[in-house]
Structure 1
Amino acid sequence: MAFKTPLEMLYHWQDTSPNTVFLRQPVDGEVQEFTWQDTADQVYRVAAGLIALDLPPMSNIAVLSKNCAQWFITDLAIMLAGHVSVPIYSTAGEKTIRYVLEHAQCPVIFIGKLDKTEEQVAAIPKGTIKWAFPYPHIEADKQWQELLVNEPYTKRMIPDWKTVMTIVYTSGCTGTPKGVVHNYESICWAAHGSLYEFGLGPQDRMLSYLPLAHITERVLVELASYYSGMRIDFVESLETFSRDIRNTQPTLFISVPRLWTRFQMGILANIPQKKLDFLLRIPIVNTFISRKIRSKLGLQKARLCASGSAPIAEATLHWFHRLGVNISEGWGMTENCAYGTCCVPFRVDKIGSIGRAYKGVDIRISGEGEILVKGKCNMKEYYLEPKKTLDAFTDDGYLKSGDKGSVDEDGYFRISGRLKEIFKTSKGKYIAPVPIESKLMVNSLIEQVCVTGAKLKQPVALVVLSEEARNEPLEKVKSSLLATFEEVNASLESHAVLDHLVIVKDAWTVENNLLTPTLKIKRNVLEEKYETLINKVYTEKIVYQ
């Protein structure tokens, strides 16, 4: 390998830039800074604690926490101790926590910042050693400060490339999470590649707030920071997000469609769309307004913004482009280290595309229209599931993505939906819901949408309104939605025309189990919850629950 492991990069930065700030963690409004020397020292001490447990080599060590400096430190300490990291989403419920810990047979778990600490800790099987990050109200066998009194482990161990580094469990949007096994070669190859794809370097800053248990944050933020030497900041809480992003002034900012929509809604709550359109048409004023909005978002220094994890409406990308926020889409999956395609540099004529394949990644479209991918970034296997591993690959070694897509003459790929999400109406016609949902999201009054209707004559759309819409007169909202409804239907083939829109009362969240931890909708759960609404016959085109 022409590049080094994360541990070797830690040694490098400790030797060459010991006093450079690497991590910034806000706690009670005060920012705690960790230089590369500070980081290395804590890594060596935590690793010493793990080694003293005398566990079998390559034991699976779990991490259950929101993003924080200690997450990075612990991940490196697990590597140094010769073990395998098993991240668990900080939003995971008791059932998921118990399943992952038992399936991976984790003897130790690190516990950090959580929203439901008591009940989540209660889900940890008896006999599991619990070590706590330095946050209050975590009952554990050892607290962080106790780990830091260990004598530092001084041997500079270098892992073998073929050694397993981590088991990343999928978010489980369609069932039981699968443990995706990545060795050092696959996951570090992807992280190292991002240096050249995105031009990362020590001058860059990123805000780590999307779940580190998710492959994108792990590869393109945490692991990429070891190779680039860029600074990583964290958020203190959801309530301080705006403060923390403005304090960071990130040069690169990765988000998900749900959060980009939230940003859009926040802007429109202060400047109505008609007024914004008017201001953006005025020379000089448009530049001032765009700059002011980017400043309020904390993105005035961002040279690259990106969106992934789920489809984002083209209308949203065009809307932000008018403000000078160019959002590049990317595509990947847990099984290929989130390293498939990217739309960098940004091209407005390619909005709606997921971009071209990264260097070293080979992508083709199967006869059924499925995107197939091959590269060093592909997983080793599904943990303890050889049948599922076999089924995940073609005979010639391409990973089956489950996404239906196409490619244009420039090599840019587009996704029309998940093969499993395509449903058949009672007329025997197949419907791909994602493109229809993207068309509906043109209307800023719509915050969330799910097109469904298996076994119905025509599909229907379930809609969650934005905060802005809830403050508008009912008739005005219905009129706007009806106009969008008719415009979208006019663009669809007859078998895909929507019968009606149903406005549901409650937002879909991770907490009510209608979104995955990466904020993708759980279609099967939504369809089960709203089964009566979906199958009910309506005469009006816009109806309320």
Structure 2
Amino acid sequence: MSTNAKLPLDMLYQWENNHKDRLYMTQPMGDGTVDEFTWGRAVDEARRMAAYLKSLDLPEKSRVGIISKNCAHWIMTDWAIWLAGHISVPLYPMLNADTVNYVLNHAGCEVLFVGKLDDWPSMKPGVPESVRCISYPLSPPNNYETWNTIVAGNEPLQGNPVRDAEELATIVYTSGSTGRPKGVMLSFDNMAFAAEGGIKTLNVGPDERMLSYLPMAHVFERTFVELGSLYAGFQLFFAESLDTFVQDLQRARPTLFLSVPRLWVKFQHGVLQKVPKHKLDRLLKIPLVNKLIKKKVLKNLGLDQVKLAGSGSAPLSHDVLDWYRNLGLELLEGYGMSENFAYSHMNKPGRTRTGYVGEALPGVETRISEQGEVQVKSPATMMGYYKDDEKTVEAFTEDGFLRTGDKGEIDEMGRLKLTGRLKEIFKTSKGKYIAPAKLENLLMAHESIEVCCVSGANQTQPFAMVMLNEELRPLVQDDAALKKEIEDSLKQLIQDIHKQVDPHEQLAFIIVMQDEWTIENSFLTPTLKLKRNVVEDTYQQKVDAWYGQKKPVIWQ
């Protein structure tokens, strides 16, 4: 594959010129209705907003922020920013005011588009007074200039502006599992290479349907949904809210569906609440019944039309992967980073191996360093970190490979297995090294566990802190029988894990947390990854007392 891929704006003009009447985006409006955007309407509105941005006489290549849940206007805003000659800066829609302030100041944003948000009053204090705000039709109440007023009051920007392939297109602020987020600089060429490579690898075309609901500020959704639809031309539907998610899925009937491990596990728990696992397993073994059961389960999830299902952002347990595959849904795990626009590795249909994140995508070079670190290089690799030359130098080897910070190994078919984070590996008091990711994958196979953290540096054996899934958390406080049932199953889980690991990796105990780990209280990143340092710092003072109890399961 060459790096001469068509750039995003080239694709925009192609759909505008050749398929302007084709339906592109379906946006629920919160009142039971939907607003539909053809390619022609979407590009026209983006051109009008671009004309308005140009009328503001901002400095060339100004940074323009977008803070919103996914919606049609998010995508049109990205286009408008590029058409006007500026650089887009996405912000997660659930950041606190301090992080909003940090990102807007660090990027030097002149303008901010404010969209669909659940808690704008707590975020708003982070927006500097100097920043001009523009609101979407689905924005929380505000007195900003509105999208519709601006679109109605401006003629479309004429001509087809050209942006250079090597030019900075967007600054993606990493979700920051430790410390302040870093601004990943991505060029138009980085984005084009990743988008074109992804749709060619998956053989995706204009007849697909996709539901957009994972944060657009994250590269996973941006690469395969926003840019994927721009390069393949397929139809996008947007989720209205968590409460309407099943209806949103059933409206879209997606043929492509991407999710993160936490949500795949939630879907599974939802099914198993209605049909216990042992009963479902028994039904699936009956030849005449299993096809009907599989179809019914997937239809109830809204996934019965899915041809390609993907999972990324964090590892998914083997048991969950196998459970979906038994239903006839082959989940393809992938691997990528903000620093390479999520374009690195992907399992291919028929070539999957449980526990592996797949083969290098076209144009990606991979190697394992002497320390066991996965290092990658491709035309999708970032330009560097914004205003941080020191960290940029640290991120690359002398010969230009990106240091991922992940440990891994490659099998005979070139499939990559991630075995842990270099910085997360810790040593017990016996001098043995523990890779928490290995144990956490085994723990996440348990249907009651929603998220977990393995720790135990400088202790005799590692231990695990687990949070039960949200349906169980309130129930166990009042139901002694249920609590005992879960405790017994966790004791059995410890025994099962001990049969699969070396003696130094065996868990001393499991702590069942009553505290909730959420994005809002900073235990999770906006992409639902655990902030290990926050968890360990929070409970550090209790660890010695937990070891002193000498119990296999402890309720915090």
TM-score range, shorter chain: over 0.9
Alignment of 1:200 onto 2:185: no
Partner of 1:130: 133
- Unaligned runs of 5+ residues in structure 1 are none
Q: Is the 8 A contact 2:340 2:380 kept in 1?
A: yes
Alignment of 1:419 onto 2:422: yes
Output the CA distance in 2 between the equivalents of 1:209 and 1:535: 42
- Cα shift at 1:532: 3.1
Choose which of 416, 431, 436 in structure 2 pairs with 1:433: 436
Secondary structure, aligned partner of 1:530: helix
Deviates more, 1:425-434 or 1:229-238: 425-434
Partner of 2:332: 328
Alignment of 1:245 onto 2:249: yes
Q: Is the 8 A contact 2:114 2:139 kept in 1?
A: no
Alignment of 1:538 onto 2:549: yes
Amino acid at match of 1:5: L
Output the CA distance in 2 between the equivalents of 1:212 and 1:538: 45
Partner of 1:291: 295
Partner of 2:150: 147
1:382–1:61 Cα change, 3 Å: same
Normalised to the residue count of structure 1, the TM-score between the two structures is 0.98
Output the CA distance in 1 between the equivalents of 2:128 and 2:273: 46
Output the CA distance in 1 between the equivalents of 2:274 and 2:521: 29
Secondary structure, aligned partner of 2:237: strand
Alignment of 1:392 onto 2:395: yes
- Cα shift at 1:182: 0.6
Partner of 2:269: 265
Deviates more, 1:284-293 or 1:438-447: 438-447
- Cα shift at 1:19: 1.0
Partner of 1:11: 13
1:384–1:322 Cα change, 3 Å: same
Secondary structure, aligned partner of 2:442: helix
Partner of 2:478: none
Deviations 1:290-309 (A, max 9, x none): 10010011111110001100
* Superposition map of 1:352-363 within 5 A: 352-363=355-366
Partner of 1:279: 283
Choose which of 236, 239, 247 in structure 2 pairs with 1:235: 239
Output the CA distance in 2 between the equivalents of 1:23 and 1:240: 18
Alignment of 1:117 onto 2:120: yes
Partner of 1:529: 538
- Unaligned runs of 5+ residues in structure 2 are 476-480
Choose which of 20, 31, 34 in structure 2 pairs with 1:31: 34
Deviations 1:215-272 (A, max 9, x none): 1111111011111000111011111111101110111111000000000100001001
Partner of 2:523: 514
Amino acid at match of 1:78: I
Output the CA distance in 2 between the equivalents of 1:133 and 1:352: 42
Q: Is the 8 A contact 2:115 2:140 kept in 1?
A: no
Q: Is the 8 A contact 1:329 1:343 kept in 2?
A: yes
Output the CA distance in 1 between the equivalents of 2:123 and 2:311: 30
Amino acid at match of 1:12: Q
Alignment of 1:87 onto 2:98: no
- Cα shift at 1:320: 1.0
- Cα shift at 1:467: 4.6
- Cα shift at 1:118: 1.6
Partner of 1:213: 217
Normalised to the residue count of structure 2, the TM-score between the two structures is 0.96
Alignment of 1:497 onto 2:506: yes
Choose which of 477, 481, 486 in structure 1 pairs with 2:486: 477
Deviations 1:483-540 (A, max 9, x none): 1111102222121111000000133221221111111101001111222333322221
Q: Is the 8 A contact 1:65 1:114 kept in 2?
A: yes
Output the CA distance in 2 between the equivalents of 1:141 and 1:287: 53
Output the CA distance in 2 between the equivalents of 1:111 and 1:535: 47
Q: Is the 8 A contact 1:61 1:83 kept in 2?
A: yes
Output the CA distance in 2 between the equivalents of 1:85 and 1:42: 17
Deviations 1:109-168 (A, max 9, x none): 100011111221221011111111112534253111221121111121121101110000
Q: Is the 8 A contact 1:207 1:250 kept in 2?
A: yes
